Amino acid sequence: MKYRTERDSMGEVSVPADRYWGAQTQRSFENFHIGEEKMPLPILRAFAIVKKACALTNRALGLLDEKRATLIVRVAEEILDGKLEGNFPLAVWQTGSGTQTNMNLNEVIANRGNEIAGEKLLHPNDHVNRSQSSNDTFPTALHIAAVLSLKERLVPALEEMIEAFSRLERENEGIVTVGRTHLQDAVPIAFSQEISGWRAMTERSLAAIDASMQGLFDLALGGTAVGTGLNCPKGFAEAVADEIAKETGVPFRTAPNKFHALSAKDDVAFAHGALKALAADLMKIANDIRLLASGPRCGLGEITIPENEPGSSIMPGKVNPTQCEALTMVAVQVMGNDVTIGVAASQGNFQLNVYMPVIAYNFLQSVRLLSDAVRSFTAHCLSGLTADREKMKGNLSRTLMLVTALSPHIGYDNAALIAKAAHKNGTSLKEEAVKLGFMTAEEFDRLVKPEEMV
């Protein structure tokens, strides 16, 4: 491999000749051989948006000439177009401020811009990082990446799931089945009502996610090193937030308190809390579906779900609820990520939180996994979910909790006597109600109508 010599304030460093990064990126690359996790692509794209917006704002404020600003914007757009892949090699496990990733972007933009210009016009710090600090650019990129990932990936996936549940509600109108509480038989419920509960969970989670984005619209840019805005011109913070809003179509705005924006990560922790709530709902939905589909002969078997793959390497013909299993594994991963983010957000010492890369990695992983898992579950499970009407009808006819309809007429204790006798003797509720003298067969038929109990 061929190398070239790059220089920074600490001296000379050898850098691969076919890469655009510089000395500070190389030092980080060499010093942090930790894990396999690299800085997520959404963060890199968000940084490109930040650098483009800063260049345009610096030009408008007279701090950057037209030629240099144009070069920075052009390279930032190349990054957004995916043309400079392979130039961002840094690990998540680096400095907690994300300084080395900020410098990675600065160096790549400067070196690529100088190549385009055919002369050395751009300096990574003096021009690309003008009016900025890693301490305000990384939290800004974090908020941008979080919002765009939620809006572009997770929100559409949840909308598709909600539509799938709505379709299942319509298709299963009129089916009455056994309700269950404590994993025990309960009073009847319409299957469409049970599905409506799943739909409402998803809708409420989507609403919570949407509400949680409000805090993420606040951007730290303009706070520079410690929140005071040193080396940042008046009006920069507001103007650059407007540029980012224009670029993304999202109503980003400058954070009203930059000291908070740099040192606290409560907005991200709050937003991930909505993701945790979604994970909890998805866990419940997936478990309900795999229990209702259990069997096919010796379980509940009240619904069928698509048979996508063979389920066993030893038991021929076995098929498993694999989409449910994948979704629940994603749910527990997201719950674990929430713990990491909560602990990391609590560590804002003085004027800066220095756990930002791990917050970014876990937040974006949660969004990515939830988006993919929800889409997969909708396409490969909900799309083919059907009710076994005969099995539901048979179970409904045997449930002892139909006796609840008799309580207003003969009292709770007498109704309980009927249920216990039927269970002990293996007889029907109707038989025992007549035998115990509480009513006639005709009266029982008039009072116990499952379809009117939902």
Q: Could you give phi then psi for residue 77, rounded to 5 degrees?
A: -70, -35
The secondary structure element, H or E, covering residue 14 is strand 11-16
Q: Which of 9, 33, 182, 313 is catalytic?
A: 182
Residue 138 contacts residue 358 (beta carbons within 8 Å):
no
> Residue 397 catalytic?
no
Catalytic residue among 312, 346, 383, 397: 312
Note the residue count of the chain: 454
Closest CA to 75 of 48, 98, 57, 100: 48
3-state SS string for 343-405: HHHCCEECCEECCHHHHHHHHHHHHHHHHHHHHHHHHHCHHHCEECHHHHHHHHHHCHHHHHH
Q: Is 6 helix (H, G, I), strand (E, B) or coil?
A: strand
The string over 382-398, giving b where at least 16 C-beta atoms fall within 10 Å of a residue's C-beta and e elsewhere, is beebebbeebbeebbee
Query: Does the active-site annotation cover 312?
Result: yes
- C-alpha gyration radius of the chain: 30
Alpha helices by DSSP H, 172-231: 191-216
Residue 434's SS3 state is helix
The Cα-based distances of 404 to 77, 319, 416 in angstroms read 67, 37, 9
Answer yes or no: are the C-beta atoms of 337 and 278 closer than 8 Å.
Answer: no
Rounded (10°) CA dihedral 123, 124, 127, 132: -160
Which residues have a catalytic role annotated? 182, 312
